[in-house]
Structure 1
Amino acid sequence: MGAKHGINRIYMAKTKKNTEQNEVLTASGQAAVAQGENAEKKQRQSHGAQRKGGNSGNRRRNASAGRKKTVPEGGSVTAEAATTAEVKGSAVQPARKPVRRQKKKNTREAVPATGTPFPMAQTIATPAPVAKERKGQRGGAKGKKALPEGAKLRIIPLGGISEIGKNMTAIEYGDDIVIVDCGLGFPDEDMLGIDLVIPDITYLEANAAKIRGIVLTHGHEDHVGAVPYVLRSIHPPVYGTRLTLGIVRNKLEEFRLPHKPDLRCVNAGDTVRLGELAVEFIHVNHSIADACALAIHTPLGVLVHTGDFKLDLTPIDGEVMDIARLSELGKEGVLLLMCESTNAERPGYTPSEKKVGKSLDYIFSVNREKRIVIATFSSNVHRVQQIIDTSAQYGRKVAITGRSMVNIVNAAVELGYMTVPAGVLVDISEIRKYTPRELTVISTGSQGEPMSALYRMAFGDHSQVTLGANDLVVLSASAIPGNEKLIGRIVNELVRRDVSVLHDSSVEVHVSGHACQEELKLMQALTKPKYFMPVHGEYKHLAANRSLAVSMGVDPRNIFIADIGQVLEIDQKGARLNGTVPAGKVLVDGYGVGDVGSVVLRDRRHLAQDGLIVVVATVDTSYCDLVSGPDIISRGFVYVKESEVLMEEAKRLALKAITDSLESGEAGDWMEMKNSVREVLTRFLYAKTKRKPMILPVIMNV
């Protein structure tokens, strides 16, 4: 893949004006870079310690020797040491990531990193583990100190259970609630006119005083997309890693919230105190950078929430999942594991993201004369990085199209998660300056979304890109269930225009970001939970994950598949599903949130299936006389000019129904008159067409 494939993004990066000088945070959240002599003096005064050696923050555990090399209290690394990399051949090897620091007794305020647009969260030492019940027991926990009588841990899924998307879970202990993720879902086919679906937060609104924070595992829409909607009614601080918060910030800028959101930055390895709960962020690999699992330390024991993860031993950024920390938690005792289930039916392991890089190299090498258009998920920063690197290797410029792609690439470059060689990126408006062999276009629309950049290209509506026989379109994504028809429609249009198309079934241009069966088993083996709750997937995925847990030794009686809103309650006596809270789907239609319910959707389906008939008439109730009409207007039912006989007969029946009502003395009963018209026309039209359009009588009085 060439030299640029080895270029990594440093764990924390400076502003774009000074991108060559990078800063690294120690994994406990301490700012790692002190710029200049004055900054170093302030660091030493703040922490009361003189650094010895510029690379102390980069020391790793020596696991094989059973020894730990620790960072001194308040220790950090210099920028020069942090950016040191070994050069092997032509590829730059990534600098080693700082390790988790040893536990400390006192809380501290982290020093904001230069160029970090978010305040650093106040972090604490990881709480001491709760003692196990007895030797050899899986994950059991008994407090070292007496717990309040009736102390209960309540896990309340508000989304992401038996569905894809809309991930949101409330963790409640006593008077404290922590919200894990805040995602959106996409509408089903029968949700006509609906743009988005978000969780029902009625329970959270009723308990807003208890909410200590929202913690985000990563920046995908199904985990952060509902944040702007939720922050309209409740205002807790939002914790996440830098890229995650960068994505959230971009979303919030599109909304005019009545208050300034409280975004607090954390790093993998940090622990934040939220009331009686402490949330530890643990690095995992996923199809977006900066993803974390969570270890939520409670008085009853540790709850591990995996977020979305996979085991990638050769990640693009060089940062492997923190298996060591997960293993430590397993040895200390995990009370409950909440594990994602997306690929629980797939055997084996999920391939590494680097496999896509090899496929890209092959595609570019055999299509040197074609312009290459690659559609992928905008959030997959590492995929986009590989496309840019491969394009640079083959002497191509790169243009980016699609609003979400532009926004995320801008955020990733600004925050240091993506490195773009100088002169490679060009504006989409300048692509006519380059021949096909000189250009790569990175686009949104890999799921066939209407009005996405690729959709507009396929149908000839894109203002800058016109596709033809000299173009190759690569769909670097697998179809999300339900999107197959949309993708097929785009592929057909592209082929109709003589465009060559490559997708995942023909060449390996996509790998999943979710763990397959062997990785899910590994998570069970590492954490050894007492209780298990599969999450993040349809019911068949949850059931498959349950079977894997049983095969790994989890007692089937300790496995709980909950419904949305159903409460899993854990206390010192055991665990059980106990009661429900208000939960469900809130539909977003344009600016309207929650104002479209089942009745409106039913009417929309009715209109979509059979159309609308409007009957307009004017009467004088004083004289029981019909003044004008009735006139019949048809929309979506039949074409009136081709159905004149049908419409004339319908008008005659409506006239008779109205005059009969007037003559019978029902002129003052508007509802009765309207019902009479509706019933007569419904019977007639169904007899003639076997359809039941919505009939709307409009009768006015003069």
Structure 2
Amino acid sequence: MSHPHPDLTTPGPIPQNGLRVVPLGGLGEVGRNMTVFEHAGRLLIVDCGVLFPEDHQPGVDLILPDFDYLTGRLQDVEAVVLTHGHEDHIGAVPYLLRLRPDIPILGSQLTLAFVEAKLKEHRLNPVTRVVREGQTAQVGPFGLEFVAVNHSIPDALAVMIRTPAGNVLHTGDFKMDQLPLDHRITDLRAFARLGEEGVDLFLVDSTNAEVPGFTAPERDIGPVLDSVFAQATGKIVVASFASHVHRVQQVLDAAALHERKVALVGRSMVRNMGLAADLGYLRVPPGTLVDVRQVDDLPPSETVLMATGSQGEPMAALSRIANRDHRVSVGPGDTVIFASSLIPGNENSVYRVINGLMRLGAKVVHQGNARVHVSGHASAGELLYCYNVVRPRNVMPVHGEVRHLVANGALAVATGVPAERVVLAEDGVVVDLVGGRARIAGAVPCGYVYVDGSSVGEITDAELKDRRILGEEGFISIFAVVDSATGKVITGPHIQARGMAEDDSVFDAILPEVTSALTEVVGRGNADTHQMQQAMRRVVGRWTAKRLRRSPMIIPTVIEA
């Protein structure tokens, strides 16, 4: 297997009749999926999603793919192909279209409906083209054919990309549920036909590659929800992704069976399910859906609230309910169901919400104690089927952490793909397909781009480190006024601390040393305020590390009078 290496250099020009593949997100992480394909000087983008921040990225709202690779080349982009409507595949589209608003967007009907609603909020009017399974399209030098795949959202697509340099089959996110709720299975007959034609490079979803066997069918959740609903005596709150149409459908069906009314909670949940219902992807039993404002007039035993926040997001509805900061409340007799998976990195946030809900007296049902969720991704057994059906010449695992990519690569080798033809790449690692052989050609910069409020890309890792220090170690401010003529300290130094257990008086012991350090620096002559500030910082920093065993952020200020 070919492994990425930290010493990879910038790749040279694409070899003649070659196809270049540049992952800008989704390889080495779960989220912000985006891959750029280049041939004959033209670019095709598959997916453009976001990654959600973890605890060590305080204050960050979203993490985007790094678009720097496209700088100066946006006019070369023929189109963006979206495989399905989850945020980790479509969430960064508005930020890409800010750079060039007329890039054509291709996707299924539901996927584009979700994207267009999102773009409307960003005041963007996209150029879209609805495609469906079985259709073909030509965008520049890229011939596209779309294949139905089953996932945890309707209307997901795989895409075959044909170029003179070779054929690439990209699965997107998929599984092989044989009894899907919408009767739309992964089209293995099409996979086999494309395999017979020849797949030179197979990009395969890796998320569940470590999981043996087969992913359970979505239908298995229905009886579990029915049992939970039958036992519930108070209100029921179900948390899921705002785009999980199948899960919402099962909640609506269970609610109708048990004569409960359902209210959607959360702006994105209301928007997405409204679109899904209008387009026929969500069947709402008559009289089941009510406005959340009507819930107060109904007995708790007759209500179900379908909410966002299954990943413990601080501002999502469920977190606010757990913190008693929402119009909806839960207490003894109520039941909360976490009907989604745990995205790696979100465990602490989710358990914090679960503990908060249980502290309020609610019964919490989650993946750990009941089958209220099944994955939307193919497990190892399904991936083996795909490799045997497609028989690709080269394989490049995508969509997953490094451990997932490695496990997926091992599955490909087990089915007979030569190890040297399995390319393990991470974000920014460039792969060239030339003469039927895929090889790593180098690497391009591919960092995290942080969205923080209205700022995009302005927050750096250094500033996030400062935020972590402020949150974990506290803050010390030192102030002094120095006579610019004599160098004598007129006022101070004064020290104030925040976020530390000790009272400010504990710093009285260090003030003489700070004054001495200031006097010494001034005595050398030609000292500027920066040198004086650094002297104060060093003295206080050494003292706090030794005496208090802390490394707070220290902000020294010297004013010359």
Which TM-score bucket, shorter chain as reference?
over 0.9
CA distance in 2 between counterparts of 1:508 and 1:693 reads 45
In structure 1, the partner of 2:560 is: 701
Q: Work out whether residues 436 and 470 of structure 1, in 8 Å CA contact, stay in contact via their aligned partners in 2.
A: no
What one-letter code is carried by the residue in structure 1 that aligns with 2:109? R
1:352-391 counterparts in 2 under 5 A?
A: 352-367=217-232, 369-391=233-255
Q: Work out whether residues 393 and 436 of structure 2, in 8 Å CA contact, stay in contact via their aligned partners in 1.
A: no
In structure 1, the partner of 2:308 is: 444
In structure 2, the partner of 1:83 is: none
In structure 2, the partner of 1:172 is: 38
Over residues 600-629 of structure 1, what are the superposed CA-to-partner deviations in whole Å (9 max), with x where a residue is unaligned?
Answer: 122223323322211112223134333322
Q: Work out whether residues 260 and 303 of structure 2, in 8 Å CA contact, stay in contact via their aligned partners in 1.
A: yes
What one-letter code is carried by the residue in structure 2 that aligns with 1:673? M
Distance 1:278 1:700, change over 3 A: same
Shift of 1:573: 6.3
Q: Is the aligned partner of 1:402 residue 2:262?
A: no
Deviates more, 1:372-381 or 1:650-659: 650-659
In structure 1, the partner of 2:350 is: 487
Shift of 1:460: 2.0
What one-letter code is carried by the residue in structure 2 that aligns with 1:506? N
Distance 1:681 1:363, change over 3 A: closer
- The SS at the match of 1:440 is strand
Q: Work out whether residues 164 and 538 of structure 1, in 8 Å CA contact, stay in contact via their aligned partners in 2.
A: yes
How many residues are matched? 547
Q: Is the aligned partner of 1:421 residue 2:281?
A: no
CA distance in 2 between counterparts of 1:197 and 1:185 reads 5
Q: Is the aligned partner of 1:653 residue 2:519?
A: no
1:1-40 counterparts in 2 under 5 A?
A: none
Distance 1:700 1:478, change over 3 A: same
Deviates more, 1:412-421 or 1:617-626: 617-626
Of 122, 130, 136, which residue of structure 2 is paired with 1:265?
A: 130
Q: Work out whether residues 632 and 647 of structure 1, in 8 Å CA contact, stay in contact via their aligned partners in 2.
A: yes
Shift of 1:155: 0.9
Of 383, 396, 399, which residue of structure 2 is paired with 1:536?
A: 399
In structure 1, the partner of 2:9 is: none
- The SS at the match of 2:271 is helix
CA distance in 1 between counterparts of 2:444 and 2:343 reads 30
Q: Is the aligned partner of 1:466 residue 2:329?
A: yes
Q: Work out whether residues 159 and 584 of structure 1, in 8 Å CA contact, stay in contact via their aligned partners in 2.
A: no
* TM-score normalized by the length of structure 2: 0.94
What one-letter code is carried by the residue in structure 1 that aligns with 2:120? E
Q: Is the aligned partner of 1:315 residue 2:180?
A: yes
Shift of 1:474: 1.4
Q: Is the aligned partner of 1:154 residue 2:56?
A: no
Shift of 1:149: 8.5
Over residues 378-408 of structure 1, what are the superposed CA-to-partner deviations in whole Å (9 max), with x where a residue is unaligned?
Answer: 2110110111122112221111112221121
Q: Work out whether residues 529 and 559 of structure 2, in 8 Å CA contact, stay in contact via their aligned partners in 1.
A: no
Larger Rg: 1
CA distance in 2 between counterparts of 1:244 and 1:445 reads 21
In structure 2, the partner of 1:239 is: 106
Q: Work out whether residues 336 and 532 of structure 1, in 8 Å CA contact, stay in contact via their aligned partners in 2.
A: yes
- The SS at the match of 2:30 is coil
Shift of 1:699: 1.1
CA RMSD of aligned residues (A): 1.8
Of 515, 524, 533, which residue of structure 2 is paired with 1:674?
A: 533
Q: Work out whether residues 205 and 233 of structure 1, in 8 Å CA contact, stay in contact via their aligned partners in 2.
A: no
What one-letter code is carried by the residue in structure 1 that aligns with 2:533? K
What one-letter code is carried by the residue in structure 1 that aligns with 2:463? V
CA distance in 2 between counterparts of 1:685 and 1:162 reads 38
Of 50, 54, 77, which residue of structure 2 is paired with 1:211?
A: 77
Of 193, 202, 210, which residue of structure 2 is paired with 1:328?
A: 193
Q: Percent identity?
A: 43
* TM-score normalized by the length of structure 1: 0.75
What one-letter code is carried by the residue in structure 2 that aligns with 1:662? V
- The SS at the match of 1:345 is coil
Shift of 1:170: 0.5
- If asked which structure has higher relative contact order (CA below 8 Å, sep 6+), I would say 2
1:264-283 counterparts in 2 under 5 A?
A: 264-283=129-148
Over residues 439-495 of structure 1, what are the superposed CA-to-partner deviations in whole Å (9 max), with x where a residue is unaligned?
Answer: 1111112222223212222222211x2212231111112222222222222222222
In structure 2, the partner of 1:140 is: none
Of 247, 252, 266, which residue of structure 1 is paired with 2:119?
A: 252
CA distance in 2 between counterparts of 1:149 and 1:340 reads 27
Q: Work out whether residues 30 and 343 of structure 2, in 8 Å CA contact, stay in contact via their aligned partners in 1.
A: no
1:98-117 counterparts in 2 under 5 A?
A: none
Of 581, 603, 614, which residue of structure 1 is paired with 2:444?
A: 581
| Structure 2, unpaired ranges of 5+ | 1-13
Distance 1:606 1:372, change over 3 A: closer
In structure 2, the partner of 1:592 is: 455
CA distance in 2 between counterparts of 1:695 and 1:438 reads 56
Deviates more, 1:506-515 or 1:577-586: 577-586
CA distance in 1 between counterparts of 2:287 and 2:177 reads 31
Shift of 1:564: 1.5
What one-letter code is carried by the residue in structure 2 that aligns with 1:406? V
Shift of 1:638: 4.2
Deviates more, 1:175-184 or 1:491-500: 491-500
CA distance in 2 between counterparts of 1:603 and 1:364 reads 47
Over residues 273-315 of structure 1, what are the superposed CA-to-partner deviations in whole Å (9 max), with x where a residue is unaligned?
Answer: 1111112111110001110001111113321000000111111
